[in-house]
Chains A and B, each alone.
Chain A
Amino acid sequence: MEEFHPHNDEMIFNADEAHNIVKECIEGVLGKADYNHNKVNQWTAAIVEQSLTHLVKLGKTYKYIVTCAVMQRSGAGLHTASSCFWDTTTDGTCTVRWENRTMNCIVNVFAVAIIL
């Protein structure tokens, strides 16, 4: 019975893989654009949805939570913190920071394992 899911016993969240996926998504959406108040909603939604679809395509049995914050660059400070109550052997998180001339973007990915 257990031979059918051999990979389930040693599931670890691969943060590097997630980092690369998310970075590509951000660059695809924001790329060379300048901050535009009208389009920001579309951008954040697009970044988050694309990241999520790519993460799901990895095919691992995880629940994903993706949060994206896009802020105009004006010298103001931004702090984020997160604390999590989960199983540290299987669950993990990854944060990607990206910036260009006019804006800052922070994306958090949280992955919570599903036990089958």
Chain B
Amino acid sequence: MEKHSKPTKYAAPAGGKRRQHLHDKDSMKEKRKQSNAEALGIAPVEEESFMDLMKTELLTLKANRTKIRYANTYRLESYNKFQDYVVRNKAQEILTNKLQETKYDGVSSPSLCASISEEILMAIKELGYDRYKYVVSILIVEKAGQAINVASRWVWDVQRDTWVSAKCETETFIVLALVMACYYE
């Protein structure tokens, strides 16, 4: 009966809003808490003392893997924006350094591919641009007289997200590196 009466507290003055918010959340998650309490072997919390409420909320949060909510920063842009030319030069440098002497080898190429990818990712992380997620994609193609076509499209924020590509060509193979940076907050 307690559970059903709680949602009717909507029509209260703005001052008491925060406390009510907790109660509303509480009534929504009451059932979940009960079943969680049973699963965890604790007696369900009947009295809503603040500390107990917080503890059981934390347990239910962990149990349900919900997202942590951060306070507003009121920042709409990144302070340290992604710089295309710097990243392109860096990626090009890494490619040429790693691949000047090597010949295409079917056995060692997979690990080479993965290691270049990780190296470029670490280098970009070190440059330390604010609020970006990165995707680095590497293609190693052996030269055997065939043609290859690579196309990409994206659905993203055109003003904030960007991409950069670097290419390295040797006698026996071609390496293409694509770096995509997506803004997130």
Q: Which of B139, B154, B182 contacts A79 (CB 8 A)?
A: B139
Contact assessment for A68 and B150 in the assembled complex, using a CB-CB cutoff below 8 Å: yes
SS class, residues of chain A in contact with chain B: mixed
Contact assessment for B135 and A74 in the assembled complex, using a CB-CB cutoff below 8 Å: no
Contact assessment for B137 and A108 in the assembled complex, using a CB-CB cutoff below 8 Å: yes
Interface size of A in residues (CB-CB distance below 8 Å) = 52
Chain B residues closer than 8 Å to A73, beta-carbon distance: 146
Contact assessment for B136 and A64 in the assembled complex, using a CB-CB cutoff below 8 Å: no
Q: Which of B64, B136, B145, B154 contacts A83 (CB 8 A)?
A: B136
**How many A-B contacts at CB < 8 Å in the complex?**
156
Given the interface pairs A64-B155, A84-B136, the reply to whether A112 lies near B182 with Cβ below 8 Å is yes
Tell me if A9 counts as interface (CB < 8 A to partner B): yes
Chain A residues closer than 8 Å to B116, beta-carbon distance: 81
Chain A residues closer than 8 Å to B100, beta-carbon distance: none
Cα–Cα, bound, A37→B66 (Å): 50
Interface size of B in residues (CB-CB distance below 8 Å) = 52
Tell me if B98 counts as interface (CB < 8 A to partner A): no
Chain B residues closer than 8 Å to A110, beta-carbon distance: 135, 180
Binds A, one of B32-40, B73-81, B107-115: B107-115
Contact assessment for A64 and B154 in the assembled complex, using a CB-CB cutoff below 8 Å: yes
Chain B residues closer than 8 Å to A67, beta-carbon distance: 137, 150-152, 178
Determine the residue in chain B with the shortest Cβ distance to A11.
B67
Chain A residues closer than 8 Å to B180, beta-carbon distance: 65, 110
Tell me if B53 counts as interface (CB < 8 A to partner A): no
Cα–Cα, bound, A48→B153 (Å): 6
Contact assessment for B139 and A77 in the assembled complex, using a CB-CB cutoff below 8 Å: no
Can you list 19 A-B contacts with CB-CB less than 8 angstroms, sorted by A residue number? A41-B149, A48-B153, A56-B155, A63-B157, A64-B155, A65-B182, A67-B178, A68-B152, A76-B143, A77-B142, A78-B148, A79-B112, A79-B113, A79-B139, A80-B113, A83-B117, A84-B133, A86-B134, A91-B133
